[in-house]
């Protein structure tokens, strides 16, 4: 693991500079904790705080979404599953289909899942049975089943079941991993830490993996309403005033005279993390549209931007009063 060494080098480079640093931060998944990745980074975070460094530790309170594809994916190779990775590397759809249909390849694929994949990877029992058949390119289905359930229905090995499902549903179809188990005690610890930046994800780069849209609602539904780990006021501050201070946005982030009237009105017992749904509204550069995952609004009752309603009574108002953000 070179992350500690890399961040310490960054700290040396920042010595004497008036610069704020946000670094990748502390892992919040249970398997990362069990692998020993978490403890040295917690120690580093605490050391930076003692030294008074302007270093902010990023973290995620939502498990990352991992999508398995045979078009473009590193998941197989990262899991030591190089037989299935042959399908990813096949250059044409015909070549991919030929592999998935080939009895000899299927025999090698079954053996690889059973004996060669990393034990903690998604393609070993029992993890593999929980893979989610979620996204079909042609809606042939079935959808909403686990791979294990589908394999049982067909009476075949899970590797064969996934090959059959992809052949029937189209090679643009994807299979999802279930959410990773979170170290929720560490999440709460970081939520309360004054030098942390939460709700971090790479959602903008992966619209088809839903790394972000609507996921911030878990802070309010799980950690506030269900578990009572933090107060509602603190959760709001984590996503408003704390971030405004971190990014140097002194004209917003709290309700005060002279600040921008950027406000959201909601009732805690009404907000929820809505189901995922698929929409085709992403320009594909060829005159058409590709798809992405999204969630419907939380809901909230009212959103004001610069004092003007942009969302009210369950619908967008069509006004756009926002202005470019400037650091002051």
C-alpha–C-alpha distance, residues 275 and 294, integer Å: 8
Q: Quick check: helix, strand or coil at residue 35?
A: coil
Sheet holding 67-68, edge to edge: 67-68, 174-176, 132-135, 145-146
C-alpha–C-alpha distance, residues 77 and 196, integer Å: 33
C-alpha–C-alpha distance, residues 210 and 180, integer Å: 14
Sheet holding 308-312, edge to edge: 263-265, 302-305, 308-312, 315-316
C-alpha–C-alpha distance, residues 53 and 114, integer Å: 48
Q: Quick check: helix, strand or coil at residue 11?
A: helix
Residues 80-108 pLDDT 10s: 999 999 999 999 999 999 999 999 999 99
b/e 177-209 (16+ beta carbons within 10 angstroms → b): beeeebbeebbebbbebebbbbbbbebeebbbb
Q: State the pairing for strand pair 308-312/302-305.
A: antiparallel
In this structure, the chain runs to a length of: 328
Nearest to 262 by CA among 232, 241, 283: 241
Peptide bond into 34 cis (omega under 30): no
Q: Quick check: helix, strand or coil at residue 30?
A: helix
Distance of CA 116 to the CA centre of its chain: 27
Q: Show pLDDT as tens, one digit a residue, over the chain (328 residues).
A: 688 899 999 999 999 999 999 998 898 988 889 888 899 999 999 999 999 999 999 998 887 777 889 988 888 999 999 999 999 999 999 999 999 999 999 999 999 999 999 987 889 988 899 999 989 999 999 998 999 999 999 999 999 999 999 999 999 999 988 888 889 999 999 999 999 998 777 666 666 665 554 578 889 999 999 999 999 999 999 999 999 999 988 889 999 999 999 999 999 999 998 888 888 888 988 999 988 888 888 889 999 999 999 999 888 999 999 888 766 5
C-alpha–C-alpha distance, residues 321 and 319, integer Å: 6
Model pTM score: 0.81
Q: What is the DSSP letter of 129?
A: G
Nearest to 292 by CA among 300, 282, 307, 283: 282
Q: What SS3 string covers 152-208?
A: HHHCCCHHHHHHHHHHHHCCCCEEECCCCCECHHHHHHHHHCCCEECCCCCHHHCCC
């Amino acid at each position: 693991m070179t992350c500690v060494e890399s961040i310490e080098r960054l700290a040396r480079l920042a010595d004497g500079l008036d610069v704020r640093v946000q670094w990748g931060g502390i892992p919040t998944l249970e398997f990362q904790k069990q692998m020993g990745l978490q403890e040295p980074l917690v120690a580093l975070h605490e050391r930076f705080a003692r030294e008074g460094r302007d270093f902010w530790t990023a973290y995620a309170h939502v498990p990352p979404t991992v999508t398995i594809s045979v078009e473009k994916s590193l998941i197989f190779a990262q899991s030591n599953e190089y037989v299935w990775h042959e399908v990813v590397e096949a250059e044409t759809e015909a070549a991919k289909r030929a592999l998935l249909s080939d009895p000899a390849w299927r025999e090698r694929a079954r053996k690889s899942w059973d004996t060669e994949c990393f034990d903690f990877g998604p393609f070993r029992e029992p993890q593999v049975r929980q893979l989610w058949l979620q996204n079909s390119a042609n809606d042939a289905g079935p959808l909403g089943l686990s791979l294990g359930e589908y394999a049982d229905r067909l009476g075949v090995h899970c590797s064969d079941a996934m090959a059959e499902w992809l052949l029937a549903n189209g090679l643009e179809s994807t299979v999802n991993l279930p959410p990773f188990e979170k170290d929720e005690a560490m999440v709460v610890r970081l939520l309360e830490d004054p030098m942390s930046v939460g709700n971090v994800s790479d959602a903008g780069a992966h619209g088809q993996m839903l790394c972000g849209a609507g996921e911030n609602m878990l802070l309010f539904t799980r950690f506030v309403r269900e578990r009572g780990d933090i107060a509602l006021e603190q959760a709001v501050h984590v996503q408003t005033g704390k971030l405004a201070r971190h990014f140097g946005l002194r004209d917003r982030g709290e309700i005060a005279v002279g600040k921008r009237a950027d406000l959201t009105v909601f009732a805690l017992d009404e907000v929820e993390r809505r189901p995922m749904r698929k929409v085709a509204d992403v320009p594909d550069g060829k005159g058409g549209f590709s798809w992405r995952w999204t969630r419907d609004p939380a809901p909230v009752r009212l959103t004001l931007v610069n004092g003007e309603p942009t969302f009210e009574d369950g619908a967008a108002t069509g006004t756009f009063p926002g202005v470019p953000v400037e650091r002051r």
